[in-house]
Structures are given as structure tokens and as C-alpha cells.
Amino acid sequence: MTPPTVKLSTLKTACKNCKLHQLCLPLGLENNDMDQLDNIIKRAKPYQKGEYLFQHGDNFDALYAVRSGSVKTFSQDDNGDEQITGFYLAGEMMGLDAVHEGFHPCSALALETTSVCKIPFTHLEELSAKLPSLQHQLLRIMSKEITEDQALLILLGQKSAEERVAAYLVNMADRMEKRGFSSVEFNLSMSRKDIGNYLGLTIETISRTFSHLQQDGLINSQRKHIEILNTEKLRAIAGLPKISCGLKSTG
Amino acid sequence: MTPPTVKLSTLKTACKNCKLHQLCLPLGLENNDMDQLDNIIKRAKPYQKGEYLFQHGDNFDALYAVRSGSVKTFSQDDNGDEQITGFYLAGEMMGLDAVHEGFHPCSALALETTSVCKIPFTHLEELSAKLPSLQHQLLRIMSKEITEDQALLILLGQKSAEERVAAYLVNMADRMEKRGFSSVEFNLSMSRKDIGNYLGLTIETISRTFSHLQQDGLINSQRKHIEILNTEKLRAIAGLPKISCGLKSTG
DNA sequence: CGTCCCCTTGATGAGGGTCAATGGGCGTGG
DNA sequence: CCACGCCCATTGACCCTCATCAAGGGGACG
């Protein structure tokens, strides 16, 4: 049998076939609701490392969900000071901050070859009005973004360099695990400089802290490649409960 | 514990009569749509200074909009480290971060006598599905919260103590002006300690910075009472252009 | 094989945290 | 009405963490 000619339409990755749909916008949707969502989503060719998905000031017309690869978003103030506001992995949504003013207040740059789903926002709003669980999930995702920004605020406002770096590594490990990768051995797609900027530290401090954690036998870091040797101690430094500890106060 | 509701007749403030509706959730709604929103909103008796609107871990069932007074929200990590994530003035909405997990990840405390509108969330979702402009405004408000958190991230990640304090004062001044108060003379409802925590600084640094700005003739501060003597220089220190264009929030 | 960029490591110093003492408002109670 | 005590704010002295400046190593890629 000769293989049929390849049609892009058939290769399209539908939400219901996408391994990410438990992490992404379609969470909680019925199958045929997912089809409706599929119909408005655009899947374009991948971005190469260093390409912008959108830039600060661009008109806002769509949300972006990472399908594979990774992206950093960063905002700039009027002095040109740059602050990375997030690193986005598969299943995570970008552009939520642009709804308010109708243009993107931050820029998004691919950290490696990255493919995305582009979700035109007016269509999404229309569809959300028809599908309660889609509306709910959209609100949940926005809420999650707020929660995560606030977690970062605690890091930047209250924590030492070592605590920030530990929290960062634990966070990355957890997210890797959610995506089916190893939580104790992975590659960081972002540079030390990016990590430093994200955590409010300099590149030198990041480097020294990595070295220090390595000397203490908590991690093994070879440039981008990270091995976590002692998850429990790392979580402790990060100020997070040990996984099995039920002693935290619930107010 | 929430204060009991009192007779509507005494407190009846419909959205369409509320001076805040250009800053708040009803923005963009037709008059009779506003009536529908009114029907689901609960207006309870005011909270006294030091009372909690909700606490970390509480079940999430409603959003809160400040009608008068002011509120601080703060989250706690497992070490008990506290980070104030926002100060909320009239027309501003709290609880958006709770949608994600279904409980409040932060606590909200009245900084002075404060009255609020309580908006049951499931009702709001139902109504949003029927009123496109309500849905849109809800999404915009969530988006605004994200944008503001990210502005704070830049402050905490990149700015010196003096820049942070200046930016804080400019921000408060702008918000006062939007609410019809003077932008050059106002009272801060929060303590130095709260400001310090919010900005990632100690109370001593806040106090010293205020004194320094006063010596330079930029402000006049008598405890809670603030006079801004040189808006332009203050904006310059804050890293903002002369007239606000980065952080302007039109609701 | 050379160049560039990223990362690492060391030396030094400053910004802001920490500790300590004092003063001023304000509420409470005599 | 005044006195007391508490809390908040201010100010000073000292110190520590992390930024800054500087130099050098090691991959990646042409």
C-alpha cells in the first residue's frame, strides 16, 4: 500500500489526542466540546530558538499554549529594565496578561524549538459563553497565573539566594514530573542569566549557588543538565514541606 | 466569621448608583444587565479594622469588591513567611487567586472600616455566560491582576529601595486620583511594616527612605499622612515617564 | 581551529538587614 | 483630665549577603 498523501489537516493534533489536555485549556471538556475548541485553535509551524511569539506592545488577538518546547516571557519598564515573568512549558498558557489593555505588556521568546497552539481570543470568549466548563477552565487558568506570580513574589520579597534557587529547582522538577519526564534529571532550557533575572539575582550568584548545592551533594549540575540527588533536603531549603509531612497548619 | 447581612433597605447601593462602576465589575454593562448583576451581589455590614474578610485555606465561594475602605491580602508559605500581595482600594476586586484551587491561597484583612460587595462565584459564572460584556470584564479584571503582580515583580527583582518606595507612592497617588481624591495629599491606611513587607524591605529601610525623600523636598510625611511635593521627580526616581503610561488602569 | 558566548570562580565593596535605643500617638483606665 | 503603657515610627551603629568588577575555562559552531 502506498501511503496516502500527507494532508496537514489530518496531521493536525486535535486536543482530544493531545497528551497535554489534562494540563491545558480542554481540562474538563466533553469530547464534542473539545472538537468545538479544536475548530478555533490554530497550530502554526514551530518557532525556532530565539524567535519571538509576540512582543511588548503587539496587538492582542490570541492566547498561546505551548505544545512542545519552552518559552520565556519578560516585561520591560520605561528604563529598559527587564524582568522575566515566567518560563512556560508544554500545556501552559501565555498572553493572559494582555486581555486587560488589549495589547501585550510583555514579550515572549522561544528558548528552544517550540510549537504552540494559538487560540483567537474573541472566538474563545464566544465559545466560553456556550460551554460552561470551558469558561470555568479559562478562569481557573487565569487564577493559576495569579497564584504563581504571587508565589514568585514571596520568593523575591522574602527569600535568600539559596532558598530561591532551591525553590526554582523544585518547581522545575515538579513540572517535569507532571509532563511525564524524570523529576530528578532534566535539562534546563534557560540560561543562568535568565534564571538569575527571574529570581532577582545576578548570574554570578546563580552560578555560585549551584556550585554550593553541588558541593553539599544536593544536586549535580553540568551546565544545562541537572540531576537532583537529594530532593528532600532541597525542598527543605526551598521552605516547602516534605512530601509526606502532614504537619502543616491549615489555618 | 462573616458579619450577618443587615436590611437591604438601609444599605441598598445598586451598581448603577455606585460611583465606582467605571472602575469595577459593571464596567461596560447596560443598565438592565447591571440590574441582573445587582441581584446576585450581597452587601453586608462593614468590617472593622483588623477583621478578616477571608483567611488562607477558607473555602472559595465568592469574589469581594471593595466599596469603601481598604484591605491587604497576604499569602504565607510553609515557614510562616508572610508576603503582602496587594492593597485593595474602592472598586478593586479580591479573591481572584482562589478560583484555581477552590480555596483561598491568601488572607484578606481590613486595614480600616471597610465595606464590600460579595459576589457569589457560581452565580457570577452563570451570569457571565449570558452577558458577554460581563464575561469580558471579568476576564479583564483577572488579567489586570496579573499585570499588576508582574509590575510588582519588576520592583522586587530589579529596583533599589528608593525606587521601590517612589514607585509605591506614585502608584498610590494615581489610584487616589482615579477615585476622586487628591493625588498629592492623602492618608496611607497601611503601616510602614506593611509597606516594607509589600516592597520586600524592612520597616527601618522604609522609614529611612521616607526621611530621605523628605529631606530632598520630594514629599512631606507625617506618619500616615503623605504630601507629594514634587510629583515629577518622584516619578523619575520610580522609573516612570512624567505622565503615567505604563501602569494606567482604566478599570 | 578559532571565535564567541556562557559559565565558573575570586576579590572587593555597597546596599540594606539586624540590633538597639528613643520618641511620639493613641487608647485605656485611674 | 492626666498618667500609663503599648505600638508604631524614627534614627544610629554595625554587619552580612549579594552585586560588582575582573579573569579564565570550556562548549558549540562555523
Question: pLDDT of A58-73, one tens digit each?
Answer: 999 999 999 999 999 9
- Decide: CB of A155 under 7 A of nucleic strand D: no
Cell of B223: 506618619
Mean pLDDT for B28-42 is 91
Which domains does chain B show, CATH number per domain? 8-143 (2.60.120.10), 154-238 (1.10.10.10)
pLDDT at position A80: 73
pLDDT at position B12: 59
For the cut 90, the answer to whether the pLDDT of residue B249 exceeds it is no
Q: For B112-126, what is each residue's pLDDT tens digit? A: 999 999 999 999 999
Cβ-defined contact of B240 to A78 (cutoff 8 Å): yes
Cβ-defined contact of B197 to A157 (cutoff 8 Å): yes
Q: Is B205 on the interface with A (CB under 8 A)?
A: no
Q: Is A113 on the interface with B (CB under 8 A)?
A: no
Cell of A46: 514551530
Q: Please, is A150 exposed, middle or buried when counting C-beta atoms within 10 Å of its C-beta (0-12, 13-18, 19+)? A: buried
Band (pLDDT 50/70/90 cuts) for residue B44 is confident
- Mean residue pLDDT of chain B comes to 89
For the cut 50, the answer to whether the pLDDT of residue A172 exceeds it is yes
Closest residue, CA to C1' of C25 = B223
pLDDT at position A12: 57
For residue B143, the SS3 value is helix
Cβ atoms of A159 and B156 within 8 Å: the answer is no
For the cut 70, the answer to whether the pLDDT of residue A8 exceeds it is no
Mean pLDDT for A73-84 is 85
Cell of A208: 555560585
Mean pLDDT for B164-187 is 95
For the CA atoms of chain B, what is the radius of gyration?
18
For residue B196, the SS3 value is helix
Band (pLDDT 50/70/90 cuts) for residue B243 is low
Q: Residue A219 phi/psi, 5° resolution?
A: -140, 170
Q: Is A78 on the interface with B (CB under 8 A)?
A: yes
Cβ-defined contact of B149 to A146 (cutoff 8 Å): yes
Cell of B146: 496579573
- Decide: CB of B191 under 7 A of nucleic strand C: no
Look up residue B69 and give its amino acid: G
The percent of residues above 90 in pLDDT, for chain A, comes to 78
- Give per-residue burial for A161-189: e unless 16+ CB within 10 Å, then b: bbbbbbbbbbbbbebbeebeeebbebebb
Q: For A186-200, what is each residue's pLDDT tens digit? A: 999 999 999 999 999
Band (pLDDT 50/70/90 cuts) for residue B6 is very low
Closest C-alpha among B152, B150, B84, B68 to residue B116: B68
For the cut 80, the answer to whether the pLDDT of residue B42 exceeds it is yes
Mean pLDDT for B187-200 is 95
pLDDT at position B182: 93
| Rounded Cα gap, residues A60 and B84, in angstroms | 30
Eight-class DSSP state of A21: G
Cβ atoms of B140 and B96 within 8 Å: the answer is no
Q: Return the bridge partners of B227, or none.
A: B185, B220
Cβ-defined contact of B200 to A158 (cutoff 8 Å): yes
The pTM assigned to this predicted structure is 0.90
Q: Please, is A133 exposed, middle or buried when counting C-beta atoms within 10 Å of its C-beta (0-12, 13-18, 19+)? A: middle
Q: For A204-231, what is each residue's pLDDT tens digit? A: 999 999 999 999 999 999 889 999 999 9
Q: For B62-107, what is each residue's pLDDT tens digit? A: 999 999 999 999 998 777 778 999 999 999 999 999 999 999 999 9
Which residues neighbour A236 within 8 Å (Cβ) at sequence distance 6 or greater?
A: A242
Calculate ∠ Cα A75-A70-A80, nearest 5°: 20
Q: Which of A99, A132, A141 sits opposite B125 (nearest CB)?
A: A132
Chain B residues 221-250 within an 8 A CB cutoff of chain A? 239-241, 246, 249
| Rounded Cα gap, residues A74 and A84, in angstroms | 4
pLDDT at position A247: 38
Place of cell 553540568: A222
pLDDT at position B250: 38
Q: For B199-221, what is each residue's pLDDT tens digit? A: 999 999 999 999 999 999 999 99
- B101 — alpha (psi -120 to 50), left (phi > 0) or beta? alpha
Q: Return the bridge partners of A228, or none.
A: A219
Sign of the alpha-carbon torsion through B121, B125, B126, B131: positive
Q: Which of B81, B106, B151 sits opposite A239 (nearest CB)?
A: B81
* Nucleotide with smallest C1' distance to residue B203 CA: D9
The percent of residues above 90 in pLDDT, for chain B, comes to 77
- Decide: CB of A210 under 7 A of nucleic strand C: yes
pLDDT at position A167: 95
Q: If you write DSSP's letter for every residue of A71-133 in order, what string do you get?
A: EEEEEE-TT--EEEEEEE-TT-EE-GGGTTTSB-SSEEEESSSBEEEEEEHHHHHHHHHH-HH
Cβ atoms of A234 and A168 within 8 Å: the answer is no
pLDDT at position A16: 85
| Rounded Cα gap, residues B238 and B171, in angstroms | 10
Mean pLDDT for A10-39 is 85
Number of H helices, E strands in chain A: 8, 11
pLDDT at position A10: 45
Cβ-defined contact of A98 to B143 (cutoff 8 Å): yes
Cell of B203: 520597616
For the cut 70, the answer to whether the pLDDT of residue B7 exceeds it is no
Closest C-alpha among B105, B79, B83 to residue A247: B79
Sign of the alpha-carbon torsion through A208, A209, A213, A219: negative
| Rounded Cα gap, residues B77 and A192, in angstroms | 26
pLDDT at position A86: 95
What are the C-alpha distances in Å from A46 to residues A50, A70, A112, A117, B63? 12, 11, 10, 10, 39
pLDDT at position A73: 96
Closest C-alpha among A40, A246, A247 to residue A130: A40
CB atoms < 10 A from the CB of A224, how many?
12
Which residues neighbour A102 within 8 Å (Cβ) at sequence distance 6 or greater?
A: A59, A60
pLDDT at position B136: 96
Q: Please, is B175 exposed, middle or buried when counting C-beta atoms within 10 Å of its C-beta (0-12, 13-18, 19+)? A: buried
Q: Which segment of A244-248, B33-37, B204-208 scores lowest on mean pLDDT?
A: A244-248
pLDDT at position A242: 59
